[in-house]
């Protein structure tokens, strides 16, 4: 590990280098790759490769591999953010939105509960 970068080998065997930052920059969000990052004390963050595309477009889920970053957190905070990202709660904005919605289904209730746990962490690390 260099001073401001983290190089990891993910579970697929690929090597990635992340810039270490303290806060999520504008336009970035928690990258939902779960434990595939290969590190338990860093949460990966990324930006869309095609930021203007609607969510329904298949390429809207492509990330910019040249700008991936990571934030050092406690293992507990990383676990909370990973769980929340798995339900689409990957930013302060999506957490606030999930909390405001009326949860009717079991899935929506789970998403809302995860958003409530993730919001204080996201508020702490969002620029």
8 Å CB contact between 26 and 2: no
Per-residue pLDDT tens digits for 93-119: 999 999 999 999 999 999 999 999 999
SS3 state at 8: strand
CA distance 109 to 127: 28
pLDDT at 61: 75
The answer for residues whose C-beta is within 8 angstroms of residue 10's C-beta and 6 or more apart is 16, 33, 36, 37, 38
Phi and psi, residue 58, nearest 5°: -60, -35
8 Å CB contact between 5 and 15: no
Per-residue pLDDT tens digits for 12-55: 778 889 999 999 999 999 999 888 887 899 999 999 988 887 77
pTM for the whole structure: 0.88
**How many residues are present in the chain?**
127
In Å, the largest CA–CA distance within the chain is 47
Degrees, nearest 5: CA angle 87-51-90: 20
Q: Considering only CA atoms, which of 74, 72, 83 is closest in space to residue 116?
A: 83
């Amino acid at each position: 590990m260099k001073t401001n970068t983290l190089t990891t080998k993910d579970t697929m065997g690929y090597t990635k280098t992340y810039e270490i930052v303290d806060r999520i920059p504008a336009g970035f969000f928690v990258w939902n790759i779960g434990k595939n990052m290969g590190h338990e004390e860093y949460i990966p963050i990324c930006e869309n490769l095609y930021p203007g595309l609607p969510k329904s477009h298949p390429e809207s889920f492509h990330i910019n591999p040249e700008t991936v970053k990571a934030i050092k957190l406690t293992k507990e905070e990383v676990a909370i953010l990973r769980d929340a990202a798995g339900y689409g709660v990957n930013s302060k904005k999506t957490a606030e939105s999930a909390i405001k919605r009326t949860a009717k289904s079991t899935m929506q209730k789970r998403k809302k509960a995860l958003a409530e746990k993730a919001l204080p962490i996201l508020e702490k690390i969002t620029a």
